[in-house]
Structure 1
Amino acid sequence: MTRLRYFLHSLGPIGVLATVILIVMIGSSLLAPWLAPYDPNQIRMSERLAPISGEHWLGTDTLGRDVFSRVLYGGRVSIVLALAVTVATMLIGLVIGTLAGYFGGWLDDVTQAFIHIFQGLPGLSFMIAIAGTLGPGVESMFIALVVTSWADFSRVVRGEVMKIREESYIEGIRAIGGNHLYTLIHYVVPNMIGPIIVLFTVRIGRVILSIASLSFLGLGLQPPTPDWGVMVNDARPFFRSYFHLILAPGLCIALISFAINCIGDALRDALDTKTEKASWLS
Structure 2
Amino acid sequence: MDRPQDRIRSVLDSRLRATARFLRRNPLTLAGAVIVATLSVTATLGPVVVPYDPTATNVGPQIQSPTLAHPLGTDQLGRDVLSRVVHGARYSLGIALLVTGIRVVLGTIVGLAAGYAGGWIDEALMRLVDIQLAFPGLVLALVVAGILGPSLRNVMIALAVVGWATYARIVRGTVLSAKEREYVAAGRLFGAPRWRIARRHLLPSVMNPVMVIGTLNIGTVVLATAGLSFIGLGAQPPTPEWGTMLAGGRHYLRTAWWLVNVPGIAIALTVLGFNLLGDGLRDALDPHLQTRVEEV
* Shorter-normalised TM range: over 0.9
Correspondence list, 1:224-243, <5 A: 224-243=238-257
Cα distance, 1:220 vs structure 2: 0.7
1:279 maps to amino acid:
Q
| CA distances 1:216-273 after superposition (whole Å, capped 9, x unpaired) | 111111111111111011111111221111111011111011111111111111112x
Correspondence list, 1:178-197, <5 A: 178-197=192-211
Structure 1 residues 277 and 75 mapped into 2: Cα distance closer, same or farther (>3 Å)?
Answer: same
2:236 maps to amino acid:
Q
TM-score w.r.t. length of structure 2: 0.90
Are 2:136 and 1:122 aligned? yes
What CA distance in whole angstroms lies between the structure 2 residues aligned with 1:6 and 1:266? 14
| CA distances 1:22-58 after superposition (whole Å, capped 9, x unpaired) | 2112211211233212111121122110111111111
Selected match of 1:171 from 170, 185, 189: 185
- Report if aligned partners of 1:115, 1:151 keep a CA contact under 8 Å in 2: yes
TM-score w.r.t. length of structure 1: 0.94
1:155 maps to amino acid:
R
Root mean square deviation of aligned Cα: 1.6
User: What secondary structure sits across from 2:60 in the alignment?
Assistant: helix
Are 2:68 and 1:57 aligned? no
Selected match of 2:50 from 25, 31, 36: 36
- Report if aligned partners of 1:156, 1:281 keep a CA contact under 8 Å in 2: no
- In structure 1, the residue matched to 2:289 is 278
User: What secondary structure sits across from 1:56 in the alignment?
Assistant: coil
- In structure 2, the residue matched to 1:13 is 27
Correspondence list, 1:49-88, <5 A: 49-88=63-102
Correspondence list, 1:183-262, <5 A: 183-262=197-276
Selected match of 2:116 from 73, 86, 102: 102
Cα distance, 1:67 vs structure 2: 0.4
1:95 maps to amino acid:
I
Which ranges in structure 1 are unaligned for 5 or more consecutive residues?
Answer: none
What CA distance in whole angstroms lies between the structure 2 residues aligned with 1:145 and 1:67? 27
What CA distance in whole angstroms lies between the structure 1 residues aligned with 2:69 and 2:255? 20
- In structure 2, the residue matched to 1:135 is 149
Are 2:42 and 1:24 aligned? no
What CA distance in whole angstroms lies between the structure 2 residues aligned with 1:4 and 1:96? 35
What CA distance in whole angstroms lies between the structure 2 residues aligned with 1:167 and 1:280? 22
1:111 maps to amino acid:
L
Structure 1 residues 4 and 100 mapped into 2: Cα distance closer, same or farther (>3 Å)?
Answer: farther
Cα distance, 1:200 vs structure 2: 1.5
What CA distance in whole angstroms lies between the structure 2 residues aligned with 1:5 and 1:99? 38
- Report if aligned partners of 2:213, 2:291 keep a CA contact under 8 Å in 1: no
Structure 1 residues 198 and 5 mapped into 2: Cα distance closer, same or farther (>3 Å)?
Answer: farther
User: What secondary structure sits across from 2:108 in the alignment?
Assistant: helix
Q: Percent identity?
A: 38
- Report if aligned partners of 1:201, 1:261 keep a CA contact under 8 Å in 2: yes
- Report if aligned partners of 1:10, 1:269 keep a CA contact under 8 Å in 2: no
- In structure 1, the residue matched to 2:164 is 150
User: What secondary structure sits across from 1:47 in the alignment?
Assistant: coil
Which ranges in structure 2 are unaligned for 5 or more consecutive residues?
Answer: 1-11
Structure 1 residues 220 and 192 mapped into 2: Cα distance closer, same or farther (>3 Å)?
Answer: same
- Report if aligned partners of 1:4, 1:270 keep a CA contact under 8 Å in 2: no
Cα distance, 1:14 vs structure 2: 2.0
What CA distance in whole angstroms lies between the structure 2 residues aligned with 1:280 and 1:69? 37
Structure 1 residues 13 and 54 mapped into 2: Cα distance closer, same or farther (>3 Å)?
Answer: same
What CA distance in whole angstroms lies between the structure 2 residues aligned with 1:5 and 1:127? 43
